[in-house]
A and B are shown apart, each in its own frame.
Chain A
Amino acid sequence: MTKSQGLSAERALALDYTTEIERIAGKLRHALTHDLNRRGLVVAISGGIDSSVSAALAVRAVGPKRVYGLLLPERVSSPQSTHRGRMLAEHLGIEYEIFDIAPALEALGCYARIDEVCKAVHPGYGAGWKNKIVLEGGLEGRYNHFKLVAQDPTGKIHEARLEYRQYLMIVAATNFKQRVRKTMDYFHADRLNYAVVGTPNRLEYDQGFFVKNGDGSADVKPIAHLYKTQVYAMARHMMLPEEICNAIPTTDTYSLAQGQDEFYFGLPYAQMDLALWAYEQGRETSELASALGISEEAAQAVYADIEAKRRATKYLGGAPILMGNPSSGS
């Protein structure tokens, strides 16, 4: 691609999906046989595009009888997510179960701790209120930080910046959700002698948008190299149900509807895909600015934010840091 052509997501993210699907399926089979010695795959199905394509790839690899689907809703999960998850499992013809993790989260104090923070930030917070956290700053050249957005029962929105201890508490409590889900994934993987499929796409994997020992934990990650745009295209290529192919990416983690862009990425996924691609290819910020219709200064902030998130989350995917070499003789 030459600079004069400009950046085009269509060209940059083009992929031969038939070939890629078969390649991934082959690698999954190889991993099960030679690396993991397991007989099938467990996939937690959220109703979103990433887990849907991951489950479909698992079925392509080992067939529907060797894939076990888990739908793990909790108190604030959208009923639409469970509806789409069930639709996918039935479309793929896999065995699945729906297990409500809300009682476990309640017992762990997840909801009480989130409510404590919400009450501290918005003193009127109580029954009938909803909440979410929203990322701000990085794309405007400021330090990234989170705001707590709460909606009272009349529909009025209240916003305030989370201070250090509040931010840590709400994230720590919310992370219970991904970690309890992963506990269920591995329970079923252990009882079936299956491996666990992780479902991050490239944006999530690269930018650290996952919980350590939660959704970041898995034995195989079949779409971690694919941009979100490509995941959507693969879903259509695999002829997954239309409702799933059109699912809008949300975190489905807070009681107020929350897009992944406002929670973490700052830009809608299609723009973020192109930004990450351009960054990886060493393209000038002026090219990205032109493609996205933003200022060059804003494009520079996007690149800086990509680097900052990589730095801040590098440890999430790494092995524990050892203080010596356990393989050495001494």
Chain B
Amino acid sequence: MSVAERVRQYILENFLFSTDTSLLGQDESFLGRGLVDSTGMLEVLLFLEETFGIKVADHEMVPDNLDSVNRIAAFVERKKG
């Protein structure tokens, strides 16, 4: 499973209580949807750090890196690369 697929599955199961992929587009903004607030983002960070073995620095906690499935996937790939 790709990074994007794992992230999407996690967001769907934990924030939408569903496995229906039609409920969340890969580029949809979490903030725009009101899906992930600042506490929710801490939960997402924990998932990323535990699942992909990366460490997210304070200055990296910006919407450009974390506000959609594709943004997170790209961010994780950069961190792992």
Contact = CB atoms under 8 A, between A and B. Distances in A.
Contact of A137 (B34, B43, B58): B58
Interface stretch (A35-43, A138-146, A215-223, A242-250): A138-146
B37 A145 contact: no
Most chain A beta-carbon contacts within 10 A, residue among B34, B38, B46, B63:
B38
Interface size class of B (residues with CB under 8 A): 10 to 19
A145 B43 contact: no
Given A137-B58, A161-B58, A311-B34, A143 B46 contact: no
Contacts of B59: 142
Contacts of A312: 37-39
Contact of A163 (B37, B46, B62, B63): B46
Nearest to A147: B58
A115 interface: no
A305 to B, nearest CB: 10
Interface size class of A (residues with CB under 8 A): 10 to 19
A297 to B, nearest CB: 13
B66 interface: yes
Interface string B32-52: 001001110111011001000
Interface string A289-322: 0000000000000000000100110000000000
B61 A167 contact: no
Interface of B: 34, 37-39, 41-43, 45-46, 49, 58-59, 61-63, 66
Interface of A: 136-138, 141-145, 161-165, 167-168, 308, 311-312
27 contacts: A136-B58, A137-B61, A141-B62, A141-B63, A142-B58, A142-B59, A142-B62, A143-B38, A143-B41, A143-B62, A143-B63, A143-B66, A144-B38, A145-B41, A145-B42, A145-B58, A162-B42, A163-B45, A164-B45, A165-B46, A167-B42, A308-B38, A311-B34, A311-B37, A312-B37, A312-B38, A312-B39
